[in-house]
């Protein structure tokens, strides 16, 4: 039986920035509003199919990780579905409407680094073109090099690869019941 809350030696769970779930914001958070430079972070999703733990890359994508952690700490991702899950490609989530068209009310720029979409479990921002990152992201099911230089890589799955395999393959507007992120939280290395 899996523990209710993930624990890891040397890490502690970050406190929320709000008690109530918030899904709309006037502007992107300032760098440092959710994370501290030089620290290490993990994001944890308790999903309807199991736990997914991801190492985040704040040194490579500081604005992206700051925004992602900011949204998690406002309970933004709690209850959100994996609205687009494509066999041998990726699982996409992060839209409160569940349609693939929603976001947090702000956008921010791309942050490309030497990180690549070169394996299963890469965490990357979904977008509609350059500089249109918001809250939607995806996790790859294998190498997807055609996404390099188009989508910001900001983390990778370190536990729960098997959970990715269990996610229901689905697309918006098609029949089926999507899996969801029941609760999201962030761990900070002490």
Instruction: Write out the catalytic residue numbers.
Output: 84, 89, 92, 127, 138, 147, 151
What does the DSSP 8-state code read for residue 147? G
What does the DSSP 8-state code read for residue 168? P
- Per DSSP, helices labelled H in the chain are 62-73, 161-166
CA torsion through residues 25, 28, 30, 33, sign: positive
Q: How many Cβ atoms sit within 10 Å of the Cβ of residue 96?
A: 17
**End-to-end CA gap in the chain:** 27
Q: Which helix (H) or strand (E) holds 75?
A: none
Q: Specify the residue for token string 């089926």.
A: 176
The whole-angstrom separation of Cα 111 and Cα 131 is 9
């Amino acid at each position: 039986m899996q523990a209710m809350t993930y624990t890891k030696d040397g890490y502690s769970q970050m406190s929320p920035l709000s008690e109530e779930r918030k899904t709309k914001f006037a502007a992107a958070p300032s760098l440092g509003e959710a994370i501290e430079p030089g620290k290490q972070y993990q994001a944890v999703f308790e999903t309807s199919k199991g736990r997914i733990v991801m190492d985040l890359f704040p040194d490579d994508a500081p604005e992206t990780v700051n925004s992602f952690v900011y949204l998690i700490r406002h309970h933004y991702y709690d209850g959100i579905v994996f609205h687009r899950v494509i066999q041998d490609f990726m699982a996409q989530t992060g839209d409160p409407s569940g349609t693939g068209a929603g976001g947090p009310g702000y956008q921010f720029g791309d942050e490309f680094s030497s990180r690549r979409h070169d394996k299963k479990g890469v965490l990357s921002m979904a977008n509609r073109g350059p500089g249109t990152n918001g809250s939607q992201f995806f996790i790859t099911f294998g190498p997807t090099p055609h996404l390099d230089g188009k989508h910001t890589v900001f983390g990778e799955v370190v536990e729960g690869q098997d959970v990715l395999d269990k996610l229901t393959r689905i697309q918006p507007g098609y029949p089926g019941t999507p899996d969801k992120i029941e609760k999201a939280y962030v761990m900070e290395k002490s």
